[in-house]
Amino acid sequence: MNSKWHVFGALLALAIPAAAHHGTGASYDLSKPITLQGTVTEFHYANPHPQLFFDVTDDKGGVVHWSAEFYPNPSQLQQGGWGKKRSEAALAVGAKITITLAPSRAGTQVGAILKLLNDKGEVLLGVGGGGPGEVPQGGPPAGAAPEEKKE
């Protein structure tokens, strides 16, 4: 990690005091995000935290198994237009991803997902880098009921 990255990390830590007050925030270090390129091996669209498992090939050609949790729960994903079928299709086994994680403070290969892109650079499940509390985006999927007027 170069000095430029240290400066960025320090600024990031100052920028997100609210993010640390989170049940899972105690496990992950938001001040040291890492970005990995990997291949999906397993995905569970489950409450309260959908889970993603993926493999990363290191510089020596070895495969490292990673697991990660999403901050949004299925209800939030649903309302952001990311239903189970759409999400599972986007994260099918073998899918190539670029993923930014807040890594485990314990140093294990686990993280909380801050940003998730497919091999076309498209944001998946609305996780686009907004951090904990991010509102899943993506718009309603094709065929969804039109927005109804609220009271």
Q: According to CB under 8 A, which residues from 29 to 88 bind other proteins?
A: 30, 33-37, 44, 46-49, 51, 53, 56-59, 64, 67-69, 71-76, 78-83, 86
Is residue 26 near other proteins by the rule CB under 8 A? yes
- The secondary structure of residue 18, as a DSSP letter, is G
Q: What are phi and psi of 78, to 5 degrees?
A: -55, -45
Give min distance, CB of 107 to other proteins, in A: 7
> Would you say 94 or 117 has its CB closer to other proteins?
117
Nearest of 35, 108, 119, 118 to residue 65 by alpha carbon:
108
- The secondary structure of residue 144, as a DSSP letter, is P
Is residue 128 near other proteins by the rule CB under 8 A? yes
Residues 114/131, Cβ–Cβ less than 8 Å: yes
Nearest of 137, 54, 129, 52 to residue 96 by alpha carbon:
54
Give min distance, CB of 118 to other proteins, in A: 14
> Would you say 16 or 95 has its CB closer to other proteins?
16
# chain residues binding other proteins, by CB under 8 A: 83
Give min distance, CB of 47 to other proteins, in A: 6
Radius of gyration of the chain (CA): 16
> Would you say 119 or 129 has its CB closer to other proteins?
129
Per CB under 8 A, the list member of 39, 41, 100, 118 interacting with other proteins is 100
The token duo for 48 is: 């309260």
